[in-house]
């Protein structure tokens, strides 16, 4: 407790931290809390599970307790589940303050959220899309007086991936006062450091954990070479083994697509494994329910897309299985970081097919560590291959019978409308683009063929000339 106090926190807050199990500051907390209390902006880069959340929650609560008003702090985070998790930390640590928080995320009632926002909560925790929608559509609340802006998983919020947050961030930043403290945290900040530094200009304090290796020591990182066609048999075998060998076990399996996630969940259920799925095509209430069931250990297996890759803190997770090798090392770091948190041990097994070897090399290069091979008894896997493949096919057929693909199409259209695009026009544009690409490809092929023919002709002529010269020489010799 004394150590948290030594960082500048009040006795009540240090005591509250102790009561919720934070007895001694972790390095990221020890390094970042004092400069934040001094009024500086902060960029904190520390490994997964190292306590970055409390590194911003504690100083925000400290400053809030000295001059409480609403809306005092805005926290932005990329996923809805993460927003609730952060709100929970604010709630437990800020209980003695009577802290009022408000979570603003997509998929839930907008009117209710607007009402809550108008009641001036101390802290708003939001995903960018929904908060920007509120700002565009109502003037019943103001962010003009906020003292703190926190970007959790800051690099994800700023990168322009498949879900691009930047247009929403622009709307939000326009609604904020220039005089504020900005705190940015992630386990993978360094790639986007330049953009981030532009956001935090108030005597920014940058802290990065001193370590070459970018994943935690307690994590045992393995790969398993598997032929693509029988990958699922390996997965079933792995799960069966963990179930047989451990009483208390809990696994997160990451998949590439929502459909894969759904099919695998159906398949594992057919084998009576206690699994639940979590992906972005589920309704928000189903997503929360699935996560709650997994957190309470009613279901021991969570099959998820990368929507669960960042930030989720579930201490009981001992195993992470990557059903596909992540295409980006950064995603690998976040996925495997769902285990071996806060000093606990954990294992991550990545299924690697013949097509993914280069991805493993990229991961190893980034994390500065070689993955070790995980060995299994191949015969046991071969024994179940046919059965597993048949079961998977059955599940795929079952899924095709539902409106899953249709929903996907509808979701895509909805997303486009939200982004201000016309789905029909986009479809037309896409078709035209495909046509142009096809034409270009045909043209390239034609050029290549012509070039090749030309080359062959030249070669033929050269050969002919050579032969002629040789014949002439021979004839001259004979004379
Ligand atoms: N000082 C502390 N002492 C003990 N446990 C702590 C301390 N600080 C945080 N923890 C615990 O460590 C776990 C991980 O913390 P947190 O979720 O903040 O990690 P993180 O660094 O944000 O990870 P990620 O990068 O995956 O989001 C949580 O269960 C939290 O309660």
Q: What is the pLDDT of residue 418?
A: 65
What is the rounded average pLDDT for all residues in the chain? 91
Atom of ligand 1 nearest to the CA of 46: 21
Residue 29 Cα to ligand 1 midpoint, Å, equals 10
Query: Which residue's CA lies nearest to atom 20 of ligand 1?
Result: 49
What is the longest distance spanned by two Cα atoms in the chain? 115
Q: What is the pTM of this model?
A: 0.84
Atom of ligand 1 nearest to the CA of 50: 21
Give the pLDDT mean for 266-273: 96
Provide the pLDDT confidence category of residue 424 given band limits of 50, 70 and 90. Answer: confident
Contact 56, 146 (CB under 8 A): no
Residue 116 Cα to ligand 1 midpoint, Å, equals 28
Q: What is the pLDDT of residues 270-327, one digit of tens each?
A: 999 999 999 999 998 999 999 999 999 989 999 999 999 999 999 999 999 999 999 9
Residue 52 Cα to ligand 1 midpoint, Å, equals 6
Burial level of 163, CB count in 10 A (0-12/13-18/19+)? middle
Q: Choose the residue to mutate in 32, 313, 335 for probing ligand 1, maximizing ligand atoms within 8 Å of C-beta.
A: 313
Ligand 1 environment, Cβ below 6 A: 21-26, 29, 46, 48-54, 187, 311, 313, 315, 337, 341-342
Closest by alpha carbon to 337, among 193, 79, 75, 153? 153
Q: What is the pLDDT of residue 406?
A: 64
Provide the pLDDT confidence category of residue 409 given band limits of 50, 70 and 90. Answer: low
Query: Which residue's CA lies nearest to atom 3 of ligand 1?
Result: 22
ipTM over 0.90: yes
Q: Is 120 helix (H, G, I), strand (E, B) or coil?
A: coil
Cα separation of 190 and 214, whole Å? 11
Residue 340 Cα to ligand 1 midpoint, Å, equals 11
Q: What is the pLDDT of residues 189-219, one digit of tens each?
A: 877 777 777 787 778 889 988 888 889 999 9
Give the pLDDT mean for 30-58: 96
């Amino acid at each position: 407790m004394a150590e948290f106090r030594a960082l500048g926190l009040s006795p009540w807050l240090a005591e509250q931290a102790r009561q919720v199990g934070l007895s001694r500051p972790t390095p990221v907390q020890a390094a970042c809390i004092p400069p934040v209390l001094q009024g500086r902006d902060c960029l904190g880069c520390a490994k997964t599970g190292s306590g970055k959340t409390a590194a911003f929650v504690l100083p925000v609560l400290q400053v809030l307790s000295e001059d409480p008003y609403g809306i005092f702090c805005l926290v932005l985070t990329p996923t809805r589940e993460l927003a609730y998790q952060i709100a929970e930390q604010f709630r437990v640590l800020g209980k003695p303050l009577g802290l009022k928080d408000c979570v603003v995320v997509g998929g839930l009632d907008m009117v209710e959220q607007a009402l809550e926002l108008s009641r001036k909560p101390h802290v708003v925790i939001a995903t960018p899309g929904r908060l920007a929608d509120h700002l565009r559509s109502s003037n019943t609340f103001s962010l003009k007086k906020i003292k703190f802006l926190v970007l959790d998983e800051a690099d994800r919020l700023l990168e322009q991936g498949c879900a691009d947050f930047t247009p929403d961030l622009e709307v939000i930043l326009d609604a904020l006062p220039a005089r504020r403290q900005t705190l940015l945290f992630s386990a993978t900040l360094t790639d986007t450091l330049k953009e981030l530094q532009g956001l935090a200009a108030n005597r920014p304090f940058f802290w990065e954990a001193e370590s070459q290796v970018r994943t935690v020591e307690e994590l045992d990182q393995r790969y398993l070479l598997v032929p693509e066609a029988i990958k699922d048999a390996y997965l079933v075998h792995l799960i069966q083994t963990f179930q047989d060998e451990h009483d208390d076990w809990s696994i997160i399996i990451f998949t590439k697509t929502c459909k894969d996630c759904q099919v695998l969940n159906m398949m594992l259920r057919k084998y009576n494994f206690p699994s639940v799925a979590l992906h972005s095509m589920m309704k928000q209430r189903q997503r929360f329910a699935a996560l709650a069931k997994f957190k309470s250990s009613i279901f021991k297996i969570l099959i998820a897309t990368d929507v669960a890759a960042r930030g989720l803190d579930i201490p009981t997770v001992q195993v992470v299985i990557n059903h596909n090798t992540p295409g980006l090392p950064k995603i690998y770091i976040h996925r495997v970081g769902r285990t071996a948190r806060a000093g606990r041990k954990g294992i991550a097994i990545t299924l690697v097919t013949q097509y993914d070897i280069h991805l493993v090399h990229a991961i190893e290069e980034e994390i500065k560590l070689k993955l070790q091979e995980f060995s299994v008894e191949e015969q046991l896997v071969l024994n179940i291959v046919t059965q597993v493949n048949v079961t998977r096919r059955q599940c795929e057929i079952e899924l095709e019978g539902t409106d899953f693909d249709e929903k996907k199409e509808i979701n895509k259209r909805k997303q486009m409308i939200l982004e201000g695009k016309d789905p029909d026009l986009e479809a037309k544009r896409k078709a035209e683009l495909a046509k142009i690409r096809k034409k270009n490809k045909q043209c390239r092929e034609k050029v290549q063929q012509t070039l090749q023919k030309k080359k062959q002709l030249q070669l033929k002529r050269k050969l002919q000339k050579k032969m002629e010269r040789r014949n002439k020489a021979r004839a001259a010799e004979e004379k």
